[in-house]
Amino acid sequence: MSQTSDRVGWIGLGSMGLAMAGNVQKHLQRERKPALKIWNRTASRGEPLVALGAVSCESIAQLVAQCDIVFISTSDDAALVGIVDQVLSVSDLAGKIFVDTTTVHPNTTKETSNRLTGRNAALIAAPVFGATPAAQSGSVLMAMSGPSDAVAIVAPFGKGVIARDVMVVSDQPEKATLLKTLGNFIVAGTMEIIGEAQVLAEKSDLGSDTLEQLLALNFPGLAHSSSTRMTQGVYLPGKGESPWSSLNLGIKDVQHGITAAEDVGTRLKVAEVALENMVRAKAFSKAQGDRNLDSSAGYGIIRQDAGLDFENAFVKKRDADN
């Protein structure tokens, strides 16, 4: 395993990847290390990083050949497999470390690790917990699994750079993506529960504000933040605005949890309910001209099932004012 970490690359500049790569480039500048090498299918996505001093590469193969550590941040399992196909076209991968921050199925992580170790490279699975705003501020939580010597080399890019903290989970990369899958299940299940509670509070005239005050005082953290995603209209972004967390990716993440449970002979029944509502929300999106929806948009379906409009009062006023 290579002991140098001077040459660092980043593949994939979606909203999360762009934010995390920016923090890595700033870290490299502070440490007076070589600039971050970047690649994205749409090269213009990297312009903010180039402005920070990063160097754009023409291909994945070029980036990999020039780097010791390569971070990957992409959308889903198929995209990761496609990137790794291109990585494997590089003749010499010996000693290189690949750090995948993508939320994929644990089986995909295991297969990816096997492909890379077969070429004497190492994979660290390092999915993060948090939406784009947290990635921008470096306050996501990162789970990290892989060979201990590789984890030690990559560790300086974790806590205090990309993340507020890092959980080292296992020497098996797939255990980190399994943990992320469980975390996503907890988030999706919480949003389902809070959505149902908010609808009951609204329909019974207790009021959303009263319930949200209880959540703030007695259930701070995830429960309260899930509620504000609904009451403050995050679940249904304004037209043309980007979601905090894409509904399509949320559906993918919940499906991974359901299949991971099936693989070991159990069920995530709450996830099944949440997934049904998320899929129905996607149909609502298509009927609205593929309007962007947040992964919390199942709340709108819960509202409709209770005889309410998909749009709550906050969304109606916001959209009317714009």
Can you tell me the distance from the alpha carbon of 273 to that of 158, in angstroms, rounded to the nearest whole number? 34
Contact criterion met (CB below 8 Å) for 279 and 262:
no
Contact criterion met (CB below 8 Å) for 178 and 184:
no
Closest to 164 (Cα-Cα) out of 130, 140, 183, 135: 140
DSSP 112: H
Burial class (CB in 10 A: 0-12, 13-18, 19+), 157: buried
Q: How far is CA 107 from the centre of its chain?
A: 18
How many of the other CB atoms lie within 10 Å of CB of 82?
13
| Farthest CA pair distance, the chain | 66
Q: Report which residue type is found at 88.
A: L
Choice among 110, 180, 252, 282 that is catalytic: 180
Residue that has been written with the tokens 């790569």 in this structure? 21
Spell out the residues 6+ positions from residue 202 whose beta carbon is closer than 8 angstroms to its own.
208, 308, 312
Tokens found for residue 52: 């920070």
Can you tell me the distance from the alpha carbon of 182 to that of 186, in angstroms, rounded to the nearest whole number? 6
Can you tell me the distance from the alpha carbon of 278 to that of 272, in angstroms, rounded to the nearest whole number? 10
Does the annotation count 175 as an active-site position? no
Three-state DSSP state, 99: strand
Contact criterion met (CB below 8 Å) for 83 and 74:
yes
Spell out the residues 6+ positions from residue 43 whose beta carbon is closer than 8 angstroms to its own.
56
Q: Which residues are catalytic?
A: 180
